[in-house]
Amino acid sequence: MTLFDSAAFEGHEGVHAFFDPASGLKAIVAVHSTARGPAAGGCRMWPYASAEAALEDALRLSRAMSYKNAMADLELGGGKAVIIGDPRTAKTPALFEAFGAAVDSLGGRYWTAEDVGVSPADLAHARNRSTFVAGLDHHPAASGDPSPVTAEGVFRGVRLCVARALGKELSQVTVAIQGVGHVGAYLAEKLHAAGAKLIIADVDAAAVEAVAARTGAQVVPPDAICEAEADVFAPCALGGAISLKTLPRLKAKVIAGGANNQLSGPEAGRALFEAGLLYAPDYVINGGGIINVAGEIRAIARGEAFDPAWVAAKLDRLAMTLEEVLDRSLAERRPTHEIADEMARERLRSH
């Protein structure tokens, strides 16, 4: 893709590239919207094949964060950071300190937190150079890793969708989880505790083995998870899991997971709807993590301690918003992703 020819760039307030030769930092921060408040979204570290691929990911993810924060009723806009590099081999304190300096140079227009490949320990180094860092383990307003809260929101969404689409409880269904990293692993444990049967896959063999040992899940190869005999397919890895190519392979009737940008494009969402599958829009169902981060940002801004009750109330409201999306989809006979997009855009326009 090229920057100004890309439809993904439309609507963004700014895109910032940072290069620090000393530490090796190569990062992009995309700010989609500050209409509701400062842009907020995690930092992803990934060995992108090219700078263009990293840019495309940052643009897609930052717009999704605007929608996610609006649907979670947060006083935050949408932004995202990506660092080009292998998180298994390229992490150093200096790299994340350089990233913190990059974030700080934006003057509070963007707050960062964890995403794929980045941990609270990494961001502690970024915090040395900027106050606009959340999702930490150690400071008065710290909330820690937001993954458990993301998983809780996804768990509630799966339970709601199973009841709506299948008329069943979780103890009566099988869930196929694609990706058992932080969010996927926590989700697996919650579903297991609720009595669901699990089928799991991940490129990380050690992660799969650990989750299977704790939950009794059946393990399948990563390329076989889409066609697993399951009632629910829960994408919890990288984006694009649902496409016109993968859709015919799906056995599940419910698509509900923690990954961002699960649809390869709007045509995939329309095809899901026409096939009679229920899709929980990703940026609605997986909003728990940014709610947790928002609670930390709120506490930092006010000079207060982190308030779990505020987060819990927002999480309850998020479940009600998902239910509203499902109700409107049924009443208007339109795909859930279209309904959610309209609701999010309206919330952005109203500010």
Task: Convert the pLDDT of each residue in 102-143 to its tens digit.
Answer: 999 999 999 999 888 999 899 999 999 999 998 877 666 667
In the sheet that holds 278-279, the strands lie side by side as 218-219, 197-201, 174-178, 232-235, 254-255, 278-279
What is the C-alpha separation between 267 and 246, in angstroms, rounded? 13
The rounded percent of the chain whose pLDDT value lies above 70 is 96
* pLDDT score, position 179: 96
* pLDDT score, position 6: 67
* pLDDT score, position 228: 96
pLDDT: is 238 or 13 the higher one? 13
| Tokens 């458990």 found at | 148
Contact call for residues 225 and 176 (beta carbons, < 8 A): yes
Tokens of 113: 């937190």
Is 143 in a helix, a strand, or coil? coil
* pLDDT score, position 2: 60
Q: 154-163, 297-306, 332-341: which range is least confident on average?
A: 297-306
Q: Which residues contact 228 (CB under 8 A, 6 or more apart)?
A: 174, 176, 199, 220, 251, 252
Average pLDDT over residues 189-209: 97
The model's confidence at residue 238, banded by pLDDT at 50, 70 and 90, is confident
The model's confidence at residue 350, banded by pLDDT at 50, 70 and 90, is confident
Is 201 in a helix, a strand, or coil? strand
Composition of the chain by helix, strand, coil, percent to 5: 45, 15, 35
Give DSSP secondary structure letters for 48-92.
-SSHHHHHHHHHHHHHHHHHHHHHTT-S-EEEEEEEES-TTTS--
DSSP state of 275: T
pLDDT in tens, 243-268: 999 999 999 999 999 998 899 999 99
* Angle ∠(128,129,133) on CA atoms, nearest 5: 80
Identify the bridge partners of residue 15 per DSSP, sorted by sequence position: 30
What is the C-alpha separation between 327 and 314, in angstroms, rounded? 20
Beta-strand (E) ranges in 109-230?
110-114, 174-178, 197-201, 218-219
Is 90 exceeded by the pLDDT of residue 187? yes
* pLDDT score, position 154: 97
Is 70 exceeded by the pLDDT of residue 193? yes
Contact call for residues 10 and 71 (beta carbons, < 8 A): no
This prediction has a pTM of 0.88
Is 60 exceeded by the pLDDT of residue 168? yes
**CA dist 50 to 12, 41, 42, 151, 214, Å?**
21, 22, 20, 31, 38
Is 294 in a helix, a strand, or coil? helix
Is 60 exceeded by the pLDDT of residue 1? no
Which phi and psi (to 5°) does residue 196 adopt? Answer: -75, 150
Average pLDDT over residues 168-191: 97
The model's confidence at residue 145, banded by pLDDT at 50, 70 and 90, is confident
Is 145 in a helix, a strand, or coil? coil
Q: Which residues contact 208 (CB under 8 A, 6 or more apart)?
A: 180, 200, 201, 202, 219
* pLDDT score, position 346: 94
Pairing of strands 278-279, 14-20: unpaired
Q: In whole angstroms, what separates CA 294 from the centre of its chain?
A: 14
Q: 52-56, 132-136, 168-172: which range is least confident on average?
A: 132-136
Q: Which is nearest to 15 in space by CA: 1, 23, 118, 24?
A: 1
pLDDT in tens, 267-294: 999 999 999 999 999 999 999 999 998 9
What integer best gives the mean pLDDT of the chain?
93
Tell me which residues are annotated as active site.
Answer: 80
* pLDDT score, position 98: 98
Q: How many CB atoms lie within 10 A of CB 15?
A: 17
* pLDDT score, position 326: 97
* pLDDT score, position 178: 97
* pLDDT score, position 137: 74
* pLDDT score, position 274: 96
Q: Which residues contact 292 (CB under 8 A, 6 or more apart)?
A: 135, 143, 146, 149, 150, 311
DSSP state of 10: T
* pLDDT score, position 229: 97
